[in-house]
């Protein structure tokens, strides 16, 4: 399974990558640190699932989701964000996402993430 | 400027929001976090001078790591989290589950990756506190990406916190991460229109309570 992880924090990318590589067999994980880079990666590698942060410099997570949804309504998108606002969660859910998880990822949230990806 | 009852409600709200934020920080560093009772003051620019960082009893000397996020929309201001620079490495090590014995005295000893960890810790913590205020007042808040700076404590003047705002609602709490002895502060400044939004919400809550 090809998964694209998008987060401007290297630490956050590392944490998510470790959870995915330990929780999902035969996962091919790619990384992007900006929305722009993520969109390029998306067009190149055609991932099965995208995991993205929201608050990033330049093209942020919301914009990235909108860009992808413009041409692809099928790909699964999971948001992992520090933003706890209900209004933000509702807004991105309207764009069509599979799951919204708040950082940091404790054991419960890690299981939620893995299970959601396995259903892809 | 705040009545004792308004202040009481605000302290309680802030307590809940900071408590939730400390819980997140605790998950990240895998350590118990001890919080102080928050102090809440609505101050004018000149009064802010009295509210020095030394009063928080945290930064006696040396350098501090300061991360801040600006937030906007109807509710706008800046949020700061600060802790001694000498403890930055220990905080990073706790987050990465590494040996906690190392301390550094200068930011030059922190790698780009370690600074990135600090930024992420601050991002999660501050987004939680401010985001919960957004939920409370039912307004969507837009955040900037966090900024991390190393500053001499003596150079962190109240003007930095105050910015262009005439009145500042200062919300101050200290947190202590027990096994690595990191003590820091969270400080939020808001402009006068945002203060009014919060006060209106507090009054609504008080009216509901009295119904």
Cβ neighbours of B124 in A, within 8 Å: 82, 103-104
ipTM exceeding 0.95? no
pLDDT in tens, A62-71: 999 999 999 9
CATH (domain of A14): 3.40.50.2300
Identify whether A43 is part of a domain: yes
Identify whether A120 is part of a domain: no
Residue B155 is predicted with a pLDDT of 67
| Residue B126 Cα, gap to closest chain A Cα (Å) | 9
- Facing A84 at nearest CB: one of B132, B140, B145: B132
Q: Residue range A93-97: average pLDDT?
A: 96
pLDDT lower than 70: segments of chain B: 44-62, 99-109, 152-167
Q: Per-residue confidence at A42, pLDDT binned at 50, 70, 90?
A: very high
Q: Tokens standing for A76?
A: 């699964």
Confirm if B180 and B90 have CB atoms less than 8 A apart: yes
Chain-chain contact of A57 with B145 (C-beta, under 8 angstroms): yes
Q: Please give the Cα distance from B122 to A10 (Å, whole number).
A: 14
CATH (domain of B70): 3.40.1550.10
Identify whether A118 is part of a domain: no
Residue B56 is predicted with a pLDDT of 55
Chain-chain contact of B145 with A11 (C-beta, under 8 angstroms): no
pLDDT in tens, B36-80: 777 787 776 666 654 555 555 556 556 788 888 999 988 888 888
Selection from A12, A80, A81 nearest residue A49 by Cα: A80
Identify whether A119 is part of a domain: no
Structural domain for B88, as ranges: 4-210
Q: Where are the beta strands (DSSP E) in A7-75?
A: 28-32, 49-52
Domain count, chain A: 1
Selection from A61, A110, A59, A113 nearest residue A89 by Cα: A61
Phi first, then psi: give them for residue B201, nearest 5 degrees. Answer: -65, -40
Residue B52 is predicted with a pLDDT of 55
Q: Tokens standing for A101?
A: 């998880």
pLDDT at A72 over 90: yes
Q: Are strands A2-6 and A28-32 parallel, antiparallel or unpaired?
A: parallel
Cβ neighbours of B123 in A, within 8 Å: 9, 55, 82
Structural domain for A25, as ranges: 2-112
Sheet holding A99-102, edge to edge: A28-32, A2-6, A49-52, A76-81, A99-102
Identify whether A34 is part of a domain: yes
Domain count, chain B: 1
């Amino acid at each position: 399974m090809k998964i694209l992880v998008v987060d401007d924090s290297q630490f956050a990318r590392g944490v998510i990558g470790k959870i995915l590589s330990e929780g999902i067999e035969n996962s091919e994980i790619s990384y992007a640190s900006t929305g722009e880079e993520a969109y390029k990666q998306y067009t190149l590698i055609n991932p099965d699932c995208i995991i993205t942060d929201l608050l990033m410099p330049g093209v942020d997570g919301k914009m990235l989701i909108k860009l992808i949804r413009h041409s692809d309504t099928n790909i699964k998108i999971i948001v992992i964000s520090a933003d706890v606002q209900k209004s933000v969660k509702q807004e991105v859910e309207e764009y069509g996402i599979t799951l919204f998880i708040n950082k940091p990822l404790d054991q419960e949230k890690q299981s939620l993430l893995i299970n959601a990806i396995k259903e892809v | 400027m705040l009545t004792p009852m308004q202040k009481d409600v605000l302290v309680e709200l802030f307590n809940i929001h900071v408590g939730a934020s400390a819980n997140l920080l605790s998950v990240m560093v895998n350590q118990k976090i001890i919080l102080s009772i928050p102090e809440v003051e609505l101050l004018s620019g000149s009064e802010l001078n009295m509210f020095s960082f030394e009063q928080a009893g945290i930064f006696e000397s040396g350098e501090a790591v300061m991360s801040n996020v600006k937030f906007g929309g109807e509710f706008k201001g800046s949020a700061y989290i600060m802790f001694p620079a000498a403890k930055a490495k220990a905080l990073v090590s706790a987050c990465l589950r590494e040996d906690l014995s190392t301390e550094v005295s200068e930011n030059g000893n922190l790698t780009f990756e370690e600074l990135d960890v600090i930024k992420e810790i601050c991002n999660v913590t501050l987004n939680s506190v401010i985001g919960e205020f957004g939920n409370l007042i039912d307004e969507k808040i837009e955040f900037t990406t966090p900024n991390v700076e190393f500053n001499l404590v003596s150079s962190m003047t109240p003007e930095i916190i105050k910015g262009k705002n005439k009145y500042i609602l200062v919300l101050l709490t200290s947190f202590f991460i027990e096994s690595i002895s990191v003590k820091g502060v969270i400080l939020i400044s808001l402009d006068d229109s945002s203060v009014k939004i919060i006060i209106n919400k507090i009054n609504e809550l008080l009216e509901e309570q009295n119904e």
